[in-house]
């Protein structure tokens, strides 16, 4: 169950950029294309590790599979960021958190057939984790509907495709080779955005974004915070990819079902930071909202306990 430890550690780290985005990056004028561009470009910094971790070139089908996984991840991010421009986080995140593991389960069933038939206790723990993730990431009175559902649907679909492809990459390649080639796929999407998006080109040339004369990288405080968040996200992604590397194929959907753990960390972090820095962070929750989150934590804890006992 080493994969379970790395999954929990990954979501603890991934809670940091989520917290930064919630309170700081949401106020910037960075467009979805620009944020996706930077994520893909910064991912190439992983190649700085090659002298220590090694790198080998696999055959062409494996290279294409790896880059396809990275490209699907960036497409998922682009759709998600566009959705955030139009709808509240509380409308998108709960639906994506529930859809991704379900998509993955369907994909694996179609690929593996009988091999994905798992015990009742594992199915029950999966349901607890997905239900807890949905509850803890939604806000009272905010429901997904219409257009917001389709943004969640397509973002979740591409993320699930990326996740499943990533697992098949690791079934045939050493961890660091697969991990770095996946980053190349994300980088190619960034190159594509640079070619087709005037906003991205203006950002790089310092001409500012639409509606602003200032480029994202010319806002040093905001950009520094963004880089801190991306640093934590990078380490979190390494942890999550190690979990994907070690997890049995039929158990792959559990990794994303465990994302509720990230929201548990965020819930307690917001409470502590709101009390410590009330002028900067302020989170007001009704009694019903608190009850829902506590109930969600109980569901997630129960799912984790059942999973750990397998």
Confidence at residue 211, expressed as pLDDT on a 0 to 100 scale: 46
Return the number of other C-beta atoms located less than 10 Å from residue 15's C-beta.
Answer: 21
Asked whether the beta carbons of 303 and 129 are under 8 A apart, the reply is yes
- Flag whether 254 is in a domain: no
Confidence at residue 54, expressed as pLDDT on a 0 to 100 scale: 87
Confidence at residue 174, expressed as pLDDT on a 0 to 100 scale: 94
- Flag whether 274 is in a domain: no
**Nearest by Cα to 158 from 200, 107, 116, 197:** 107
Asked whether the beta carbons of 153 and 81 are under 8 A apart, the reply is no
Mean pLDDT by 10 residues, the chain (310 residues): 88 80 56 85 91 92 96 94 73 78 84 62 81 72 66 91 95 95 96 89 66 54 73 89 91 86 77 63 62 80 76
Q: What is the dihedral of CA 87, 215, 21, 151, to 10 degrees?
A: 30
- Flag whether 163 is in a domain: yes
* Number of Cα atoms under 13 Å in the Cβ half of residue 212: 16
**Rounded CA gap, 136 and 128, in Å?**
12
pTM flag (> 0.85): no
Supply the DSSP symbol for 143. -
**Rounded CA gap, 174 and 178, in Å?**
6
The H-assigned helical ranges of the chain are 2-23, 32-43, 50-53, 60-86, 89-112, 120-137, 146-172, 175-196, 198-205, 220-246, 252-257, 260-276, 287-308
**Rounded CA gap, 139 and 89, in Å?**
9
Return the number of other C-beta atoms located less than 10 Å from residue 170's C-beta.
Answer: 22
**Rounded CA gap, 168 and 69, in Å?**
10
- Flag whether 309 is in a domain: no
- Flag whether 299 is in a domain: no
Asked whether the beta carbons of 38 and 203 are under 8 A apart, the reply is no
Q: How many domains does the chain have?
A: 1
Supply the DSSP symbol for 87. S
Structural domain boundaries enclosing 177: 2-120+142-248
- Flag whether 135 is in a domain: no
- Flag whether 304 is in a domain: no
Asked whether the beta carbons of 268 and 307 are under 8 A apart, the reply is no
- Flag whether 92 is in a domain: yes
């Amino acid at each position: 169950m080493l994969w379970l430890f790395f999954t929990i550690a990954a979501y603890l780290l991934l809670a940091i950029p989520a917290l930064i985005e919630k309170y700081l990056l949401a106020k910037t004028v960075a467009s979805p294309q620009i944020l996706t561009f930077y994520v893909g470009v910064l991912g190439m910094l992983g190649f700085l590790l090659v002298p220590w971790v090694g790198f080998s070139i696999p055959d062409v089908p494996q290279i294409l599979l790896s880059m396809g996984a990275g490209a699907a991840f960036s497409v998922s991010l682009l759709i998600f960021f566009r959705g955030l421009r139009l709808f509240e986080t509380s409308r998108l995140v709960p639906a994506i958190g529930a859809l991704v593991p379900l998509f993955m389960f369907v994909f694996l069933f179609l690929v593996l057939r009988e091999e994905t038939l798992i015990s009742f206790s594992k199915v029950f723990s999966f349901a607890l984790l997905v239900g807890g993730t949905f509850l803890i990431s939604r806000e009272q009175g905010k429901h997904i509907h219409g257009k917001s559902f389709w943004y969640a649907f397509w973002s979740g679909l591409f993320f699930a495709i990326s996740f499943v492809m990533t697992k098949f990459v690791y079934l045939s390649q050493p961890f660091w080779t697969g991990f770095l080639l996946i980053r190349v796929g994300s980088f190619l999407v960034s190159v594509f955005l640079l070619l087709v998006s005037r906003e991205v080109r203006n950002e790089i040339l310092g001409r500012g974004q639409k509606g602003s004369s200032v480029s994202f990288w010319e806002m040093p405080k905001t950009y520094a915070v963004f880089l801190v968040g991306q640093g934590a996200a990078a380490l979190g992604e390494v942890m999550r990819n190690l979990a994907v590397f070690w997890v049995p194929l039929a158990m792959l959907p559990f990794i994303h079902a465990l994302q509720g753990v990230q929201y548990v960390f965020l819930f307690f972090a917001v409470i502590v930071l709101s009390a410590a820095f009330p002028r900067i962070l302020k989170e007001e929750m009704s009694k019903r909202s608190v009850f829902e989150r506590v109930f969600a934590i109980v569901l997630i804890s129960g799912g984790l306990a059942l999973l750990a006992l397998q």
